[in-house]
Each structure stands twice: as C-alpha cells, then as structure tokens.
Structure 1
Amino acid sequence: MKQVRLLLFLFIPSISWGQSYEEKVAVSKALIGKPVQAHTFYTLDKQSFSFQNLQGEFIVAYFFASWCSPCYGTLENLDKAIKNTPPTVRIVAVSLDEDWIKLKRMLAKTGFSGEVWKSADAKSVLRERLFANYSGSLPYIIRVDQQGILIEGGSEVKTSEQWSAIISQNASLNEASKI
C-alpha cells in the first residue's frame, strides 16, 4: 500500500503541473499579439464583465491583490495619475482577491476611486499565467488595443509619473518604466 501511495504521489504532481517553468513562460509570452483571454470579472456592484465588453477601447489593466504589499503604493500612484492627468485610455484595476471584504478594505486604505473589477477565478489567473503574466506575480499591468489584442504586459510601472505617461501619452510599459 505504501508503494502505491508513493507512486501516486510521484505521478499526480506531474499531471497537475505538466509544464516546466520555461514552457509556462513561453506559453504566457506567446499571448502577446493575440486576443485577450476570455475571463469573467465582476464590478464592485457584482455585475459580470469581461475585456470583450470593451471592444473598441484602448485598455490599461492593473492586476493587484490585498495580499500584495507593493500593490498598495502602486494603486495609490495610479489613483493620483488618474486624478491629475486626463486619461486617453480606459483604466481598469483588476483585483485577484478571493474575498470582497479584503478588496474593499484595500480600496479604502489606498483611496482608489477608479474602475475596479474582481476576478471570478483569481487563482487560475496567476496559476495559468493568464494575460501574458509570465512571471506569475503581482502587481502586473497589461495594455489591450481597440481590437481586443493583448499588446503588452509588464510589472515595472510604479510611480504616478510613470502611470501618467501610460494613461495620457500612450507610452509603452517599457518606456514608462524608464521614467
């Protein structure tokens, strides 16, 4: 019986993890230039929403969670940039929290007053490295064009000046990260 358990222990993880780190990164990076994935989100008033609802708009989405320490400062800086610089793109802050209460506490603490969505399945977003988040970490940012194509992803934008360049001057994430 112990041998069977040992075999199952060794066999089952290989099924669930299947891909190597390098394969997961490659698959995630390959999402750039393709239509943004279909995924269900909820607005703060619990209405179902997705990126597909925003066809025809340029979108910048900031993925965050209440358990992510750096996300607090970055969310505060995004809020400052939105208030100080008229955006030329639609900005969506996307929570990967499982708990609505923790999400609302974070929004209150940071003072963020922009558009917020909460993932219907936050764990899969990170686990599957959706939205070209090949690092599988937070905070994370994507840009989506008017045709719904994922054009860029990254995690180096943090300051309000960097955010202002993205949301009002259409700077790439890479360009903004160097400000």
Structure 2
Amino acid sequence: MKKVSILLFLIFSCGSWSQTYEEKVVASRAFIGKPVQEHMFYTIDKQPITFQSLEGENVVAYFFASWCSPCYEALENLNKVIETAPPSVRVVAISLDEDWTDLEGMLARTGFSGEVWKSADAKLAFRERLFANFSGSLPHIARIDSQGILVEGGSRVKTTEQWSAVINNNVSLAEASEI
C-alpha cells in the first residue's frame, strides 16, 4: 500500500505528467510573443551562454541532436547556406545531446562549421517544450527578435532553399516550409 501511495503522489504532484497532449501544445504555443525562456547553454568551447546575451540581435536557433536522423540532412543544408552567403540574422545550432562526444561526432559527420551551443539540460527543454517546441520533437527551429521575444517555432525547414529564405530573406518558418 505504501508503494501505491508513493506512486500516486508522484503522478499527481508533477503537472507535466498529468497534462494532456493538447494542454502541452497550448502551453508551448503560449511562449510565442513572450521573452525567450532563460536556459543555460554552453558554447562549443564549453563557455556558458544564454539567449539573453544575444539581445539586440535577431536569432534563428536550430535545435538538433545526434540521435535525430532528420537533423543530419537539415544541419548539412543549413551549413551549405551559411557558407554560400552570410546570413542576415544570427544563426545558432543548439544540440540537445547529453554527451559532448555525440555532439562532436555529429558536427564532424555533417561538416557543420557555424555557431554551436549545447543545452545544459536537454531533458528539461523537451519536457517543458521550451522555445515553442509544440510537438516536443526534433529538429526544431525558433526565431527570436532583437528584443529577445520568441517570434515563431517550427520544424519543417530542411532544404537549402527553405533555410536561405529564413536566414537570408527573413521569411517566416511557416512560409519557408511551403517552398
């Protein structure tokens, strides 16, 4: 009986476990139009950094992980666009890997040479569906304006044409996904 009581306590004391899928989506969409959430990241040289340090810059953040197979092609295509023409926004590729070795292996495999950060707590980012990640999956892209406001979240930008539209022509993620 004691084990059952503990289990019930754990289930009902954690709000995100008791939320339905629809409630999680609504909560994630509520991040749009608000300041981007505070979250700790590390640069590729393991220095701490946050989105708040980028205030004054428009940012496109691409969230990926080495265990996400569609992320490889999208990261390769993003790299091709960045190497072809300097983006009109700051582009940050953000790993949600737990392990630095996995991240480094993915970067070597894709040849990505742009700015890379690693989440200090990837599990939290997924669980709370931070950065308007409605689906709670990867890849995920977020646009943040120069005042630090989360403008848009999405996941369907993958091709070089789509990436170019987003980072060079300021096209919305929704519009770019239709290209």
**What is the Cα deviation at residue 32 of structure 1?**
0.1
Q: Counterparts of 2:97 and 2:114 in 1: how far apart (Å)?
A: 17
**What is the Cα deviation at residue 84 of structure 1?**
1.4
CA deviations over 1:57-85 (Å, ceiling 9, x no partner): 00000000001111001000000111113
Aligned length: 177
TM-score (norm 1): 0.96
Secondary structure of 1:176's match? helix
Structure 2 counterpart of 1:120, one-letter code: A
Q: Who is 1:60 aligned against? A: 60
Q: Counterparts of 1:10 and 1:150 in 2: how far apart (Å)?
A: 36
**What is the Cα deviation at residue 113 of structure 1?**
0.2
**What is the Cα deviation at residue 8 of structure 1?**
2.7
5+ residue gaps, structure 2? none
- Work out the percentage of aligned pairs sharing the same amino acid: 66
Q: Counterparts of 2:13 and 2:136 in 1: how far apart (Å)?
A: 20
**What is the Cα deviation at residue 5 of structure 1?**
1.8
Q: Who is 2:50 aligned against? A: 50
5+ residue gaps, structure 1? none
Q: Counterparts of 1:166 and 1:21 in 2: how far apart (Å)?
A: 29
**What is the Cα deviation at residue 4 of structure 1?**
2.7
Q: Who is 1:132 aligned against? A: 132
Q: Who is 1:6 aligned against? A: 4
Q: Who is 2:80 aligned against? A: 80
Q: Counterparts of 1:176 and 1:22 in 2: how far apart (Å)?
A: 25
Aligned-CA RMSD value: 1.0
| Regions of 4+ moved over 4 Å | none
CA deviations over 1:90-135 (Å, ceiling 9, x no partner): 0000000010001000000000000000001111000110011011
Q: Counterparts of 2:166 and 2:25 in 1: how far apart (Å)?
A: 25
1:97 aligns with 2:105: no
Q: Who is 1:111 aligned against? A: 111
